[in-house]
Structure 1
Amino acid sequence: MKPNDACPCGSGKPYAACCGPLHSGEKTASTAEALMRSRYAAYVLKQADYLRATWHASTRPSELDLAADDSKWLGLEVRAHQQQDEAHATVDFVARYRIAGRGHRLRELSRFVREDGRWYYVDGDLAD
């Protein structure tokens, strides 16, 4: 992805001014929503190492093979971001994707926790 290309997270910003610095490790996400958007962009760009690094240790999968994933991610809509306290937040989102030409929607209420100043994805509940 080129730095001036639109970020896959749907923010409308160039990748270099949005999720790029998070993916490269130059910055950390300032909010749970920013982390969620960067994780969506990492799925689009098949950056398994970033996804594992931003997954809370208590729920992180031992392996994450995105090379075998033939999903084509089409867009992200963040419906709500709610911070319960300084260390806990939720993000309600819908991600659209296509597998073998067939469209799908993933709606999830994701839970995030902040430890040592960094946000981590914990888990989520799928919704309709």
Structure 2
Amino acid sequence: MKKNALAAHAACPCGSGQPYGDCCGRWHAGLASGVHAPAPEALMRSRYSAYGLGLIDYLLATWHPSTSPGELDLPPLKWLGLEVRHAQATGDAGVVEFVARYRDSGKGVRLHEISRFVREDGRWLYIDGEQVGPD
């Protein structure tokens, strides 16, 4: 597992403006002790940060078993920013629309996606996402 360390006081990669330790870092660190993101947006932000930090175990653990790839090999992307456009939870179902920017082999890319989440046994899990065409 590739894992890049990030100090708790450093800015969180998800762009929330909070320190990593008070934002996504608490979900990353708390996974083993049963501390989970409380809402779809928090889970989506923590997964974005996990991609940037190479936290493969976290990504797989927060992926619903019915859609999880089982193993994951992260390409060498440079994650540049995240914009959450809409987040909603109704009962045990959630949706988050976001735009993530990254650089792949020097080329800038925008990923605009509507992701689906489900809450099972008190924890939110990523199901899948549908890419949205150009704005």
Letter in 2 for 1:30: P
Match of 1:33 among 32, 41, 48: 41
Which 4+ runs in 1 deviate beyond 3 A?
none
Distance 1:55 1:62 in 2: 9
Normalised by the size of structure 2, how large is the TM-score? 0.90
Normalised by the size of structure 1, how large is the TM-score? 0.95
Letter in 1 for 2:97: D
Map residues 42-81 of structure 1 onto 2, 5 A cutoff: 42-66=50-74, 69-81=75-87
Q: Percent identity?
A: 59
Distance 1:113 1:62 in 2: 18
Q: Secondary structure of the residue that 1:6 maps to in structure 2?
A: coil
Aligned partner of 1:82 in structure 2 is: 88
Unaligned runs of 5+ in 1: none
Match of 1:116 among 121, 126, 129: 121
Distance 1:109 1:30 in 2: 19
Q: Secondary structure of the residue that 2:126 maps to in structure 1?
A: strand
Map residues 93-108 of structure 1 onto 2, 5 A cutoff: 93-108=98-113
Distance 1:62 1:11 in 2: 29
Q: Secondary structure of the residue that 1:121 maps to in structure 2?
A: strand
Distance 2:53 2:40 in 1: 20
Aligned residue pairs, count: 125
Unaligned runs of 5+ in 2: 1-5
Q: Secondary structure of the residue that 2:94 maps to in structure 1?
A: strand
Distance 2:59 2:36 in 1: 13
Aligned partner of 1:2 in structure 2 is: 7
Q: Secondary structure of the residue that 1:65 maps to in structure 2?
A: coil
Distance 2:17 2:7 in 1: 15
Kindly report the root-mean-square deviation, in angstroms, between the aligned alpha carbons of the 2 structures. 0.8
